[in-house]
Chains A and B, each alone.
Chain A
């Protein structure tokens, strides 16, 4: 089996930026990813990526991708990493399609949506229940929908849905909405929004498609007639596959300022790590740092082996 200098896991802002840097350092590497863009591709409007005053998430990701493809990069898309572990001097990566060896690894696998874990969630997934407002929102034009959650991703989903849905219920389990103040104001002022604080979803119901949800609002059980439910209750890091890599309580991979994990040769960057803030521009910067650290690691190893 050939041994790559580097394998980058994930192709969001961190992974793509790492790939651009690795290509410019002439490393022999591949990128393995389930998708392109990760959470960034699911953002409605991005207004804080320097150089773009306003750009949609999918468009920004398209630019990232074009930049990456300027170099001849071996990208293995639609492939899921199942396990990463030390193998002698190298690292062995098992995916749902193949096995690979590399001298070092950058984990940039990001985060994914947390599920509700209520009755009806599995049955109605894609039958009215969705995890991506920017993808599936337009199907619910003129319909009543619910957004579950009260943070930035819930606000983002609500801001998309207020423009197209008939009415938007926000089911938030805390005292009040959190997240970006401007966005919150915009949603609170919309005429077709009802914010239900101190509320939880108990079940999703319907026949072939979603017809209603059962909720508990301030201790009171009630039923809401909605055809769409958007689950935006947070994200969990995709860090399970990394054997022996230290994580914090939130399951984020712990990295130092050089993006080094507790295992020499394994670096991590972006939302999958314990980096202070989860922002597209920060993930991109972290990806660059990780690639430079990986390059330094490989150079040191070569000198030592001489």
Chain B
């Protein structure tokens, strides 16, 4: 079954853009939450990751902070 992937990001942050491009390049579907305009998502992100930096990637409950390519690949089984 496909993994549930959530990306918490802001529209302007360069690392957010990289994460999203990376997922698209690998043809992986994800749900994007813009924490700049969605306060609920922002709270959820802070609660899940225990920190306030973007991007945060939630892969089936596994939380990865930042564009950590190796961790993301591992979590996705790429």
Query: A residues near B, CB below 8 A?
Result: 35-37, 41-42, 44, 56-58, 61-62, 77-78, 126-128, 130, 132, 134-139, 141, 164, 208-209, 228
Instruction: Tell me, in angstroms, the Cα distance from A44 to B13 when the chains sit together.
Output: 10
Q: With contacts A126-B51, A127-B52, A208-B50 known, is A77 near B13, CB below 8 A? A: no
Let me know if B54 is at the binding interface, CB within 8 A.
Answer: yes
Contact for B53 among A37, A58, A134, A136, CB less than 8 A: A136
B65 CB to nearest A CB, Å: 7
The reply to whether B51 and A37 form a contact with Cβ atoms under 8 Å apart is: no
Question: Given the complex, which residues of B lie within 8 Å of A56, measured CB to CB?
Answer: 12
The reply to whether B17 and A62 form a contact with Cβ atoms under 8 Å apart is: yes
The 5 closest A-B pairs by CB, nearest first: A138-B36, A135-B13, A41-B14, A126-B53, A126-B51
| A-B pairs with beta carbons under 8 A, tally | 69
Instruction: Tell me, in angstroms, the Cα distance from A130 to B13 when the chains sit together.
Output: 13
Q: Which residue of A lies closest to B10 (CB)?
A: A138
Interface CB pairs A-B, < 8 A, 24: A35-B15, A35-B18, A41-B14, A57-B14, A62-B17, A77-B69, A126-B53, A126-B65, A127-B52, A130-B52, A130-B53, A132-B13, A134-B13, A135-B15, A136-B54, A138-B36, A138-B42, A139-B10, A139-B42, A139-B46, A139-B54, A141-B42, A209-B52, A228-B52
Q: With contacts A127-B52, A135-B53, A136-B54 known, is A78 near B14, CB below 8 A? A: no
Q: With contacts A126-B52, A127-B51 known, is A136 near B39, CB below 8 A? A: no
The reply to whether A141 and B12 form a contact with Cβ atoms under 8 Å apart is: no
The reply to whether B52 and A139 form a contact with Cβ atoms under 8 Å apart is: yes
Question: Given the complex, which residues of B lie within 8 Å of A35, measured CB to CB?
Answer: 14-15, 18
Q: Which residue of A lies closest to B49 (CB)?
A: A126
Let me know if B16 is at the binding interface, CB within 8 A.
Answer: yes
